Amino acid sequence: MIENHIKEGAVLTKYVISGGNPLHGEVEISGAKNAAVAILPAALLVDGVCRIENVPNISDVTMILGILRDLGAEVRMINPTTVELDCSHVYKQNVPYELARQIRASYYLIGALLGRFGRAEVPPPGGCDLGVRPIDQHLKGFYAMGAEIQVENGFIYAASPTGRLHGAQIYLDVVSVGATMNILLAAALADGLTVIENAAKEPHIVDLANFLNSMGARIKGAGTDIIRITGGRELHGSNYTIIPDQIETGTLMIAAAATGGDVVITGAIPTHMESLSAKLLEMGVYVSEDDDRIHVRSEGNLRAVNIKTQVYPGFPTDLQQPMTSLLTIANGSSIVTETIYEARFKYIEELRRMGANIRVIDRTAIVDGVDRLIGAPVTATDLRAGASMIVAGLMADGVTEVSGVKYIMRGYEDIDKKLIGLGAHIERSVKMGGL
Ligand code: EPU
Q: Which of 349, 255, 364, 357 is nearest to 308 (CA)?
A: 364
Reported as a single tens digit per residue, the pLDDT across 162-189 is 999 999 999 999 999 999 999 999 999 9
Tell which atom from ligand 1 comes closest to the C-alpha of 137: 8
Distance between terminal CA atoms of the chain? 24
Q: Which atom of ligand 1 is nearest to the CA of 34?
A: 39
CA–CA–CA angle 148, 107, 121 (5° rounding)? 45
State in Å: Cα 130 to ligand 1 middle. 9
pLDDT recorded at residue 435: 42
- Ligand 1 pocket test: pick from 133, 204, 225, 383 the residue with the most ligand atoms within 8 Å of its Cβ: 133
Ligand 1 touching residue 411 (CB < 6 A): yes
Position in ligand 1 atom list of the atom nearest CA 178? 23
In this structure, the number of other CB atoms found within 10 A of the CB of residue 299 comes to 12
Query: Residues with Cβ < 8 Å from 23, sequence gap 6 or more?
Result: 255, 256, 259, 261, 262, 263, 394, 419, 422, 423, 424
Q: Please give the pLDDT value at position 134.
A: 86
Best mutation site among 174, 249, 384 for ligand 1 pocket (most ligand atoms within 8 Å of CB): 174
What's the pLDDT at 180?
Answer: 98
Pairing of strands 155-159, 119-122: antiparallel
Query: Which residues of the chain fall short of a pLDDT of 50?
Result: 3-5, 434-435
Residue nearest atom 37 of ligand 1, based on CA coordinates: 177
**Which of 58, 61, 67, 104 to mutate to test ligand 1, by most ligand atoms within 8 A of the CB atom?**
104
Separation between Cα atoms, residue 83 and residue 400, nearest integer Å? 36
Which residue owns the Cα nearest ligand 1 atom 28? 318
**Cα–Cα dist 59/11, whole Å:** 14
pLDDT in tens, 272-322: 999 999 999 999 999 999 999 999 999 989 999 999 999 999 999 999 999
The predicted structure's pLDDT at residue 3:
46
Quick one: pLDDT at residue 5?
A: 45
DSSP class per residue in 4-36: -BSSTTEEEEEEEEE--PPPEEEEE--B-HHHH
Distance of CA 62 to the CA centre of its chain: 14
State the pLDDT at residue 56: 98
Give catalytic residue positions.
Answer: 128
Residue 431, pLDDT score: 81
Alpha-carbon separation of residue 351 from 78, 171, 324, 396 (angstroms): 41, 40, 9, 11
d(CA 281, CA 70) in angstroms, rounded, equals 47
- Per-residue 3-state assignment (H helix, E strand, C coil) for 125-149: CCCCCCCCCCCHHHHHHHHHCCCEE
Interatomic CA distance for residues 149 and 135, integer angstroms: 12
| Residue 8 pLDDT | 61
- Contacts of 212-221 with CB under 8 Å at 24 or more apart are 212/42, 212/45, 212/184, 212/185, 212/188, 214/238, 214/239, 214/240, 215/42, 215/45, 215/46, 215/50, 215/188, 217/188, 219/184, 219/188
Q: Looking at residue 6, what is its pLDDT?
A: 53
Tell me the whole-structure pTM to 2 decimals: 0.96
> Is there an atom of ligand 1 within 6 Å of 318 CB?
yes
Select from 304, 313, 311, 312 the least CA-distant residue to 336: 304
DSSP string, 410-424: TT-TTHHHHHHHTT-
Cα separation, 396 vs 372, in Å, equals: 6
